[in-house]
Structure 1
Amino acid sequence: MTPSYEELRVPVTGGELAVLRWPADSPGAPVVVALHGITANALSWGAVAGALAGRATLIAPDLRGRAGSAGLPGPYGITAHADDVAALAGALGRDRVVLAGHSMGAFVATLAAVRHPDRFGELVLVDGGFGFPAPTHLSADELMTAVIGPAMDRLSMTFTDRDAYRSFWQAHPAFAGDAWSPEVDAYIQRDLTGEEPALRSGCRLEAVRTDGVDLFRAEVLAAVRRLPGPATLLWAERGLMNEEQGLYDAARLTAAGRPDTKVTAVRVDDVNHYTVLTGEKGAGLVADALLRAAPPS
C-alpha cells in the first residue's frame, strides 16, 4: 500500500510549484527528489514511495504545466524545469540530494545536475536521459507526433466521468492485465481537471509541445555526458505501448555514447516504459537504486 503524503507549495519563478512529500520514518533518512515524465504527474512515483517503505523521504513535484502546477506560466522547456528543481532542492535545506527522473524527467535530472552541481548528488535515471538528434526532415509537430503521438492526442480529449478516463487508460497496452493497481489509478486520476461531463487532462498542451521539442536540443542531449557525478540508468525491456523493442537496448545506448559517460546501465526485464516505474517489480528496483545512491546518514 502506498504511504500517505502531504502536498506542499514551493516558490519558483512565476509562482509556486506543487510538490508531494512522502516522509521517511527517521529524520536522518536520505532525501530523494523524483521527476515525472512529459504528460505525467507526481503520483507516477506512488509505487516507488510504497517500495521505499519509509526508508527515505520522497519528494515529487508536478512539473510546470502539469496537474497541481498547471497554473505556472511559461517559458517552459527542460531548462525551466531544471531550474525549478534546483529551487525545490534549495527549499529542502539539504545538501546534494539524490535526484531521480523517469522518461522526460530523466533529461530534466541530467540538465539540473549539470547546471546546479552543488544541489544534487548521485542520479537515478529511469528509462530516459539518453537521447538522439532529431531527424532534420521532420517539422516540430511531426517530431512530436512521432515521439508521443498517442499522449498528445489524449490532451485534446474530453471524458464524461472518472470511470471513462479509467477505462481509457485500462485499455492502454502498457497497463494490460495485472499492471493496473491502486497507485496507477491515483496517478492517472490526478491528471484530470474540469467538470463532468467534460473532464480533460490538466497538462497544458503548450508546455508538453515545448518540452517535447526541447528534448532534442543539443544542450539537453549533451547533459548526460557532462554529469559531475555517477548515475544509474534502469532501462525497460519493452516500449511505451508494451512493444518488444524498448526505448533502449545495448546497441542504442552505445550509439548514444553511454560507454563514455559516468552512467551505469541496468536492463530491467519483463517491464515496459510505464511499469518500470509503476509496477511492483520496477518500483522495487527503482527504490533499491535510490537507496544505494543515497549518501550515508
Structure 2
Amino acid sequence: MNTHQYRTIDIDVDGGKLRVAVWEPLDSTQLEGDPPVSDVVLIHGVTASHLAWPFVVDLLPGVRVIAPDLRGRGASNSLVGAAGMKAHASDLEATLDALHIDQALVVGHSMGGFVAVTFAHLHPDRVSRLVLVDGGLPLDVPVGMDTDEMVASILGPTAARLSMRFATTAEYFDFWRRHPAFTDAWTPELEAYLEYDLVADGGGRLRPATSYETTADDTVDMNIGNALSDAIAQLSHPTRLLTVELGLQNEPPGLYAPEHLARVLQNLPAVQHERLKEFNHYTIVMSPGGAARVAAVVQQELSVQMDAAR
C-alpha cells in the first residue's frame, strides 16, 4: 500500500544545491484540533543516498519523512567545498529551515548516525530524539592509521568500489548481485537505489556518485575529528541505538564488536541499546524485515514524544 507522496527539492547550502527527498503522508489532511504531523529526518550512510530509505518510509504512515542526499552523494555530488560532520549538520539545519520545520526526530544509519549525533549537539533545539542504526558511536579503530588505511579498515571493498567504472547499469547490478550482503535481499527497491547511484564519468562510462576523496574525508572526521567526540561527550537527547551482528560483507561481528560497544556504552547510560542477529549493515534498513525493526523503534519514539507533548 502506498503511504506517502514522494517528491524531491533542491535546497541552497554552502557550495551549491542539496537534493532532499520529502515523503508527504497521504493521510495528512489536518482537521482543527488534530495534532501536527510528525516529522522524521532520515540520514543515510557514507556512500549511500536518500533511496536507502523507502522500506522504512512505507512503515511510517502519517509521518512526514525528510531525507537528504548528503553533500558529495547522490544528486548532491556536485556540491563544492569540504564535507565533514559539521558541514553535514549545517546542511541539515538549512533543510529544516527551508521546510519550516522547528524540530524533528532524527534517524541516522551508519555514517548518518555520526551526522545525527553531531547535528543534535550543534543544533539541540532542532532535534527531539535520536535513533542510531549501526552507527553514531565511536568505532574500534586502531590508532596511528593513515587515511587510506583507516578507510580500508572500516569500509573495505565498499571504498574500493568508488574507483571502479562500469559500462552499463546492468554491469553495476551484476557487481552488486555478487555482494554477500544482498545474497538473499535483492529487490526492485535495491535496483532503484543502485541505478540512482550511477553518474557519467565523462569518458563514456559510469561511476558511483560518491567520490573516494569525500568518503575518506568523512571517514577520518567521524573517527578522529573533534566534532563527534565533543558531541558524544555532551549527548543529552533521548537516544535509541540498534546494532547488528553482521557487517558490510555479511560477516560477524559487524561494525560494533560486543566487547568494544560495551566499553563505549559504559559511559553513556542514557543510550538504550538493542542488538539484532538476523541483519547485516545494509539489510537493517534496505530490506523489509530490517526496515520493520527500525520503523517500529521510530514509531515507539514518536509515541513517547507525543505523550510528552500532551
TM-score (structure 2 length as normaliser): 0.89
Runs of 4+ in 1 over 4 A off after TM superposition: 1-4
- Between the aligned partners of 1:181 and 1:64, the Cα distance in structure 2 is 26
| Cα separation, 2, equivalents of 1:224 and 1:50 | 31
Q: 1:191 aligns with which of 197, 209, 213?
A: 197
2:12 equivalent in structure 1:
11
Return the index of the structure with the highest Cα Rg: 2
Amino-acid identity (%): 39
Matches within 5 A, 1:133-212: 134-177=141-184, 179-194=185-200, 198-212=205-219
Distance 1:68 1:182 in 2: 20
* Residue 120 (structure 1) shift: 1.0
Give the CA RMSD over aligned residues. 1.9
Q: Which amino acid aligns with 2:149?
A: E
Which of 273, 280, 285 is 2:281 aligned to? 273
The number of residue pairs the alignment matches comes to 295
Match of 1:245 in 2: 253
Deviation of 1:237 after TM superposition, in Å, equals 1.9
**Is the CA contact (8 Å cut-off) linking 1:125 and 1:233 kept in structure 2?**
yes
Greater relative contact order, per chain length (Cα 8 Å cut-off, separation 6+): 1
The one-character-per-residue Cα deviations of 1:160-215 (angstroms, maximum 9, x if unpaired) are: 111111111111100002x1111111111111011795111111222111101111
Structure 2 gaps of 5+ residues are 30-35
> What is the alpha-carbon distance in structure 2 between the residues aligned to residue 222 and residue 172 of structure 1?
36
SS at match of 1:264: strand
Matched residue, 1:227: 235
The separation in 1 between residues aligned to 2:123 and 2:266, in whole angstroms, is 22
SS across alignment from 1:276: coil
Partner in structure 2 of residue 95 of structure 1 = 102
Contact 2:155/2:248, CA 8 A, preserved across alignment: no
Letter in 2 for 1:71: S
- Alpha-carbon distance in 1 for matches of 2:71, 2:269: 29
Change (3 A) 1:274 1:201: same
Matches of 1:160 and 1:103, distance apart in 2:
29
